[in-house]
Amino acid sequence: MARRDDAGGRRRPVLAARGAKRTRLESGARAGISTLRGAFPPDADLAGDLARKIKRELEKFGLANEPLGVDVVELPVLLALQREGIEVVDGQQVFMEARRIKTPDEIRLLTQAASMVDGAYEELYRFLRPGVRENEAVGLVAKTLYDYGSEYVEGVNAISGERCSPHPHVFSDRIIRPGDPAFFDILHSWNGYRTCYYRTFAVGSASTAQRDAYKKCREIMDRAIALVKPGATTADIVAVWPKAEEFGFADEMAAFALQYGHGVGLSIWEKPIFSRLTSFDHPETIQEGMVFALETYWPAADGWGAARIEEELVVTADGCEVITKFPAEELIVAGRQYYTIDGPLNLNRDSQSSRNTVWGRGEA
């Protein structure tokens, strides 16, 4: 397309003659099509085409003989790059280090993402009662977050009753029953920034075993939070957490991610990592501007219940601020309050009614 003056001196667009060519200036972006996780026929050589485009860019900037750092790659592309003579090295740590400390804008985005989960937990608290299913709770949370503007609900772990100990990281269609423990982990993304945020409820009432498990879970969480400040290390934090053998696991590998901490940002797993599995031998120094989640777990003495808590923290100049604000200092009972002829039903009770009377316990 060209421009030409008309009779009045005005500039008007006109089509160029057929076959006319004009060199298009290159932008800073290059389109590359991957193998779509192997869906393209290998003979189409999409991986090779992409590798040659990358090689061209390296040659253009005088970097053809320099190593190429890559964080995530499809295996056919990796092999194609090597066939082009490009030395591929692990670039993942470079990206991770760049994301270790958050900017003020990133902290605001992470705080907003967490506030959306605050609201999701409020809706979940109102919804929980005997008779609802775990998958229904997941649907409610997902809808709430999308209504708030979440761009991606990465996952909602919904675990109740006997599924709590030991617990999986997936929901089921289990019907929640009176006296059940139920805990949830909500992971979503807002403007690219993630959450990882556990809360535990008792539905209808809580047994003494469940209450005690929650108190222990909260204790080891708060002991850890009290130590968070610039200059402390991940080893300092995990030292106050119980050993795997103390809560029923053979070793730290088997208990991994139950007493745990991890950076949160553009991914739910960033630096630093807090774990008795690695932090003593490979401690990381806590710095102002870090944002990470600490999560704790404790099984109930009854053998089937458990408690799970997770808090996200921003490291400040002299300590830290918790940005996950749904109440968690004590075990919250969800569901309607039941009344007996003598008044409100005790919320601290066994889910088996016979165990709440002196006759059922064999004491009379």
| In-domain check, residue 99 | no
pTM higher than 0.85: yes
The reply to whether 361 falls in a domain is no
pLDDT averaged over the chain? Answer: 92
User: Residue 161's domain is classified under what CATH number?
Assistant: 3.90.230.10
Q: Does 2 fall in a domain?
A: no
Same domain, 293 and 225: yes
- Distance from the Cα of residue 139 to its chain's centroid: 18
Identify whether residues 254 and 135 lie together within a single domain: yes
Q: Give residue 166's pLDDT.
A: 85
pLDDT band at 7 (very low <50, low <70, confident <90, very high): low
Same domain, 255 and 228: yes
Are both 136 and 226 inside the same structural domain?
A: yes
User: Are 288 and 148 contained in the same domain?
Assistant: yes
Does 168 map to a domain?
yes
Q: Is residue 287 domain-shared with residue 312, that is, in the same domain?
A: yes
Q: What phi and psi values does residue 104 have, to the nearest 5 degrees?
A: -55, -40
Q: What is the pLDDT, as a whole number, of residue 104?
A: 98
Domain identity same for 185 and 282 = yes
pLDDT tens for 123-181 read 999 999 999 999 999 999 999 999 999 999 999 999 999 999 988 999 999 999 999 99
Query: At residue 1, does pLDDT exceed 50?
Result: no
In a domain, 27, yes or no: no
Question: Is 52 contained in some domain?
Answer: yes
67 and 153 within one domain: no
Q: Which residue has tokens 């807090």?
A: 274
Question: CB neighbours of 294 closer than 8 A, spacing ≥ 6?
Answer: 221, 224, 225, 228, 237, 260, 261, 274, 310, 311, 313
Closest CA to 164 of 246, 225, 248, 220: 248
- SS3 category, 121: helix
Contact between residue 236 and residue 272 where contact means Cβ atoms under 8 Å apart: no
pLDDT surpasses 70 at 28: no
Please name the residue that has the structure tokens 């082009």: 84
Number of folded domains in the chain? Answer: 2
Nearest to 251 by CA among 242, 243, 239, 259: 243
Same domain, 259 and 157: yes
- 10 in a domain, yes or no? no
In terms of Cβ atoms closer than 10 Å to its own Cβ (0-12, 13-18, 19+), residue 79 is middle
| Same domain membership, residue 191 and residue 121 | yes
Residue pointed to by tokens 């060519």: 21
Residue 28 lies in a domain: no
**Residues spanned by the domain of 237:** 104-344
Q: What Cα–Cα distance (Å) separates residue 276 from each residue in 49, 263, 267, 291?
A: 45, 16, 22, 20
pLDDT tens sequence across 276-326: 999 999 999 999 999 999 999 999 999 999 999 999 999 999 999 999 999
- In terms of domains, do 247 and 214 share one? yes
In a shared domain, residues 185 and 307: yes
pLDDT tens sequence across 191-244: 999 999 999 999 999 999 999 999 999 999 999 999 999 999 999 999 999 999
